[in-house]
Each structure stands twice: as structure tokens, then as C-alpha cells.
Amino acid sequence: MGELAVEKHVEYILAVEKRKDSFESVVMDHLRLNGAYWGLTTLDLLGKLDTVNADEVISWIMKCQHESGGFAGNIGHDPHILYTVSAVQVLALFNKLDVLDIDKVATYITGLQNEDGSFSGDMWGEVDTRFSYIAICCLSILRRLDKINVEKAVNYIVSCKNLDGGFGCTPGGESHAGQIFCCVGALAITGSLHHVDKDLLGWWLCERQVKSGGLNGRPEKLPDVCYSWWVLSSLIMIDRVHWIDKGKLFKFILDCQDVENGGISDRPDDAVDVFHTYFGVAGLSLLEYPGLKAIDPAYALPVDVVNRIFFSADN
């Protein structure tokens, strides 16, 4: 088993930011703020956040804010809760939440809660449990959870639980490891994990591990590095992580590295990208890989950042 190519991954992430003229980077342009979160959180977990110019990043992020208080994926685009969470998380990484008009952001998110407790992603009304997680995660970081109806929000998430113990996008939607992370994360943050049947869900999640050691997100799918994050973090939150074979998962993630040019791919020998690089490193952090910062399974931020938010003196 190889080792984590830390320096290569740092170089790779810093280089991605400069590569702006490929078709891929043009079609990903609208979610650049998500990309910033993946890249910068990876750098922080690797202990290299100081290699980027924080002021530049922050001033760009603030240009992505819409008058409604929500953030767009890039300058001039429409706001969406998906990008708002990335903005808040990146500002938290840099310990710069104070540049925000916190009540304005909170008002944007609060305004997206529906009568049944669910959350829309933006003014156009698509509902998804991912948006519930984001709303709850964001408001908790901003210390404004009291602005929404938490009980209704929790009840809506519980209504998306399936007989197999997992969760889907909306009531009756198929269980999916990504959605499960969102629902379990939201329940963890609101102290509502008693709604989860931990043995049953743990069982379903453990069955995601395939022979190669990697995890898939649904039955019969190929393994993918990104589920190292979604499945593992969920297992940790429900205290069943000892049910999978950690050694084999370690090996699978490390096998997905491009050791020459840096970056991590979905499966061994595929093309790398920032998204999978983040989830690979975050997965290794959950597995307590030596030298990596620990990551919080619910907030998806380094533990020291989360501690700073909730336990610093001025709060």
C-alpha cells in the first residue's frame, strides 16, 4: 500500500484553480464556489491552507453574494442554497465569518423553509433533503438555528426514511448514501439521531463495501471514492463504523491517487478531479490517516474549525 502523496495533491489543487481554458472548467464555472470549498478544505486537512491568498478568495466570495442574502456559484449567477453553504464553510475555514451580514444570510435560508418543514433550494421551489441538511448545517454554523422550525424540519427528514433504514430526496425516494449523509447529518446537528434505526441503517451502509474494499452509494453500483466520505461519515455518526473493513478501504482510496501529477479519482486509474480529491482526503481523515487534520463528520469541516466556531471565547 502506497502513502498519501501530500505534496502532489497540494500542487494539483493549486494548479486546477489556474486552468481556466478547458471545456471542463468552462462548464463547471457556475459552481466554482463548490469547487473552492472542495479544494480549500482539502488544503486545510493537509495542513496547507496558508498557501492560498485568503483576502483574494474572500473578496471574490463576497462578490458572489446576491441582494437576497444567498450566494451564487460564481459572480453574476443566481443564488442557491448549495452555494450558500460553500460560502459559509469557506469563510469558516479562514475564520472570517465576521465579514458576513449573518442575519441577512440567515434570513435567506429561513425564507426557503416550506410549510411541511422541508427546504427549497432556491426561489424556484425544488425540494430535497440535501437542502434540509444545508439549511441546518449553515444556520448552526451561523448560530441561528432558532430562526427555523426545527421540529418540522426534523419531521420532514424522518418522513423520507425508507423501510431499508436509508433516506431519499423526498418521501418515497430511493435510499442513496449521499442523501443518507445529509439526513443523518441534519439529525445529528439537531440532536435527533434517535429517529434513526442504527442497526438497520448501519447494515445497509456496510453492504455498500464491495470486494475491492471501496464503497458504493447504492446496491449493484461500482465503488467510488466519494462514498468513502458519505458512507463513512454516516457510519461514524450512528456509531457503527467498526462494522466495515477499514484496512481495505484505506487501500482502495490510496490506489485512486495519481501519484505522479497529484489528485484522486473515483476509481483506480480513472482521471482525477477536485471533487474526488476532497472526498478521498476527507475519507482518509475519517479513517485517522496519520498527519491529516481530523474532519467533523456532520459539518464536513476540520474539527478545529468547528471547535473554533462553537467554543471560542467571544461566542
Partner 1 sequence: MYGNSWDEDRAMDLLNQLEAILESDPLIDEVGFIHPSQFVTLCKEGGESGDSSEDDVLGPRNTKFWNRDHKLGISTEVLLPLCKAAKGAFMDAMKQYRTLNSLSNNKHEHENIMYGSLSRQSFDSEIMKHSRALLLLSCDFGTAWNSRKLVVSKKQQLAMLMDELLLSALVLSYSPKSEQAWSHRRWVIKMIAGKCSTMPEIITKESELVEKIAERSKMNYRAWNHRCWLVSYMTREQMLHELKKSRDWAGLHVADNSCFHYRRRLMLGILKNSCCKQECDDSSYDVENYQVVKEELDWNEVLIKRYVGREALWLHRRFLSQCSISHLTMNMHGISSQSEQKTSMDNEISIFMHNELCLLNSCSTIQDMEFEDFQAQAMYSAIYYLWLIKLIPQFRESEVQVKLKAGNLKTILHKTCPERSFLWDFLDLNGSL
Q: Give the interface with partner 1 as residue ranges (CB under 8 A).
A: 21-23, 26-27, 29-31, 72-73, 76-78, 80, 122, 124-126, 163-164, 168-170, 172-176, 199-200, 202-203, 206-207, 209, 211, 218-221, 240, 242-245, 248
Amino acid letter for position 30: H
Tell me phi and psi for residue 66, to 5 degrees.
Answer: -95, 160
Smallest gap from residue 9 Cβ to partner 1 (A): 26
* Cβ closest to partner 1, residue 5 vs residue 244: 244
Among 169, 194, 191, smallest CA distance to 180 is for 169
Helix then strand then coil, % of the chain, to nearest 5: 55, 5, 40
Whichever of 168 and 280 has its CB closer to partner 1, that residue is 168
- CB nearer to partner 1: pick between 55 and 199: 199
C-alpha cell at 155: 419531521
User: Residue 17 to residues 10, 42, 179, 244: CA-CA distances in angstroms?
Assistant: 11, 13, 28, 35
**Least distance in angstroms from the C-beta of 11 to partner 1:** 25
The residue (of 195 and 248) whose beta carbon lies closer to partner 1 is: 248
Report the alpha-carbon angle 66-130-151, nearest 5: 95
Nearer to partner 1 by C-beta: 29 or 55? 29
In angstroms, give the least distance from the CB of 170 to partner 1.
7
Query: At closest approach, how far in Å is the CB of 299 from partner 1?
Result: 24
